[in-house]
Amino acid sequence: MSKVAVVTGGTRGIGAAISKGLKDAGFTVAATFAGNVEKAEAFKAETGIHVYQWDVADEAACAAGLAKVADELGPVDVLVNNAGITRDGMFHRMSFEQWRAVLATNLDSMFTMTKPVIERMRARGFGRIVNISSINGQKGQMGQTNYSAAKAGVIGFTKALAQENAFKGITVNCICPGYIDTDMVSAVPVDVLEGIIKTIPVGRLGKAEEIAALVAYLASDAAGFMTGAVLTINGGQYIANG
């Protein structure tokens, strides 16, 4: 029986590539989405991947959704915390609603999605948790105090959870993508995008499939000795210490 992987925000952008990559690697994949039913159904029809709708910031919805996945597909072996939103703005003009929305989806979801699966992973002596942070969680970004704070928090969450669960056969790792060629990035004005690419030493945007390949490795049995790692994949745009 194939292992079950849950990918939050798994029907679009980087998440969609991760879902497809894990399916190709032999996992039974459940991709969650928040609101775009039409795109999620099109993704399901195209890929055959199971899709589930709930808000990752809602603790009760996550518990109920993950219970449904376990009921229908089996216990969750791999969790990819990928879902994220932006509500950009300079901090002196940022509303608390903008702050709270980003922290809830991007950071609270580390708790709401991981807590319902961690005990069963510990009981079975196996688990793979992959958290998607960001280059901007490592270096900060003007106009993104909320997003940078949340994504930096994801890194700290990863390191602490890895230490707590390593002896139970659970690995917890974090990926920090740079600028990836997705619909969200493509929507940036051409002149701004060209300016961004000039700051990337490899001279291009990343591909979602490159992130997916790294996730597939971290989810595999081959990655059993890697835990607590923060992996940068940004074309050399920001070279983190350590």
What does residue 110 show for φ and ψ, rounded to 5 degrees?
Answer: -60, -40
Q: Tell me the pTM.
A: 0.96
Q: Return d(Cα 173, Cα 150) in angstroms, integer.
A: 16
pLDDT tens digits, 67-103: 999 999 999 999 999 999 999 999 999 999 999 999 9
pLDDT tens digits, 117-129: 999 999 999 999 9
**Topology of domain 4-179+209-231, CATH:** Rossmann fold (3.40.50)
Domain ranges of the chain: 4-179+209-231
Measured in whole angstroms, how far is the alpha carbon of residue 108 from the centre of its chain? Answer: 13
Helix, strand, coil % in the chain, rounded to nearest 5: 50, 15, 30
pLDDT tens digits, 152-176: 999 999 999 999 999 999 999 999 9
For the record, the structure tokens of 7 come out as 């990918």
Whether 242 shows a pLDDT value over 70: the answer reads: no
Query: Which residue in the list 147, 179, 217, 238 is annotated as catalytic?
Result: 147
Any catalytic annotation for residue 147?
A: yes
